[in-house]
Amino acid sequence: MSEQQDWEIPDDARPQVEDVAFDLDRTLSSVVNVRALVPEDVFTAPILGTDRYGNGVVIRENGIVLTVGYLVTEAEQIWMTTTEGRVVPGSVLAYDHETGFGLIMAHAPLRTPVMPMGSVRDVRINDPMIVGAGGGRRHALNVRVVSKREFAGSWEYLLDEALFTAPAHPSWGGAGLIDRQGRLAAIGSLFVQQAREQTELAGNMFVPIDLLSPIYDNLVGGGHTRVAARPWLGVYLAQSERSVVVVGLANGGPAQRADVRPGDQIIEVAGQPVDDLARAFRLIWAQGKAGAEIPLTLRRNGRMLQLFVRSAERNSILRRPRRH
């Protein structure tokens, strides 16, 4: 895992002890490096790779680590490295597709402090924050919040409000966004080119920590986070002006089985017009729980057609976490 450590944030871009009112090094030591090894034959292997690197934040004394879900989805082995260089094995407790969170359980003491939880409710645009990745201060970056807004991801993912920061951190996945009181405000998810709306500004998107509390007990208890899972179609969508276009399909997924094709433009869902990704997803999810039939009106090669897609639960195609 040493290859992930051969870089440093420039000293003038790092947080300094004298600039914060909390124990900076102690707080940053709550962030660990995470390496996830994934079998080659699982669904996410060709999409996300089989050897994944990122970060996680220790949030409980019993060794529970919060990270971003795509890092650990279908992982067979988990290794965590602390700031002091201690390497500890772990396993996946659960991942939640609606928020994008993942939870890991360490199998030996991490000997790191727990990072206290904050909230994004009081976060304002231009607030100074710190992005902490595994490795301590040399991997920590001073950033500012440049936007709080809705985020729709092509993979049937939607947050009502995400945090966007700049400048961009080079190891964003699972990194902790830390407020000026030393509390965890959000978990790193993506590199984005438009951290500020309608502006070319490289930065990162973070998932607010506030979304964890309502699902935490279910995650820890058995990996099931919802009473009724959302309908999943297995489509990858893109925004094109005021239309939504299918740009990819999950192999063997519901949409592919229903003959949805790349290049199809989604005109309506259940008779309701679609003009952006967020509306498309909300209309699909409004049709009921996983297994509901989703009526789609499509434009293909200049002609209109209607298909009915029998949705599924996303977890049904994924290898479930093995609890140790």
**pLDDT, position 241:** 81
CATH 2.40.50 at 128-211, yes or no = no
Sign of CA dihedral 229, 235, 240, 242: negative
More confident residue, 199 or 67: 67
**CB neighbours (10 Å) of residue 197?**
10
Q: Do domains 23-114+215-222 and 235-317 have the same CATH topology?
A: no
Kindly tell me if the per-residue pLDDT of 147 is higher than 70.
Answer: yes
Nearest to 192 by CA among 143, 140, 126, 130: 143
Q: What is the pLDDT of residues 28-40, one digit of tens each?
A: 999 999 999 999 9
Cα 167 to Cα 294: distance, rounded to the nearest angstrom: 40
Q: So where are the chain's domains?
A: 23-114+215-222, 128-211, 235-317
The pLDDT of 160-182, averaged and rounded, is 97
> What is the band of 5 on the pLDDT scale with cuts at 50, 70, 90?
low
Q: Of 80-89, 148-157, 227-236, 304-313, where does mean pLDDT reach its minimum?
A: 227-236
Q: Which CATH superfamily is domain 235-317 in?
A: PDZ domain (2.30.42.10)
CB 73 within 8 A of CB 95: yes
Proportion of the chain above pLDDT 90, given as a percent = 89
> What is the band of 134 on the pLDDT scale with cuts at 50, 70, 90?
very high
The first and second tokens of residue 94, run together, are 């659960």
Cα 92 to Cα 294: distance, rounded to the nearest angstrom: 32
**pLDDT, position 146:** 98
**pLDDT, position 284:** 98
Half-sphere exposure of 232 (CA within 13 A, CB side): 18
> What is the band of 199 on the pLDDT scale with cuts at 50, 70, 90?
confident
Kindly tell me if the per-residue pLDDT of 1 is higher than 50.
Answer: no
**pLDDT, position 2:** 37
Burial call 31-47: b when 16+ CB within 10 Å, e when fewer: bbbbbbebeeebbbeee
> What is the band of 16 on the pLDDT scale with cuts at 50, 70, 90?
very high
> What is the band of 304 on the pLDDT scale with cuts at 50, 70, 90?
very high
CATH numeric code, 23-114+215-222: 2.40.10.10
Average pLDDT over all residues of the chain? 94
Kindly tell me if the per-residue pLDDT of 300 is higher than 80.
Answer: yes
The pLDDT of 247-260, averaged and rounded, is 96
**pLDDT, position 224:** 54
**pLDDT, position 27:** 98
More confident residue, 221 or 280: 280
**pLDDT, position 3:** 45
Q: What is the pLDDT of residues 202-228, one digit of tens each?
A: 999 999 999 999 999 999 986 555 556
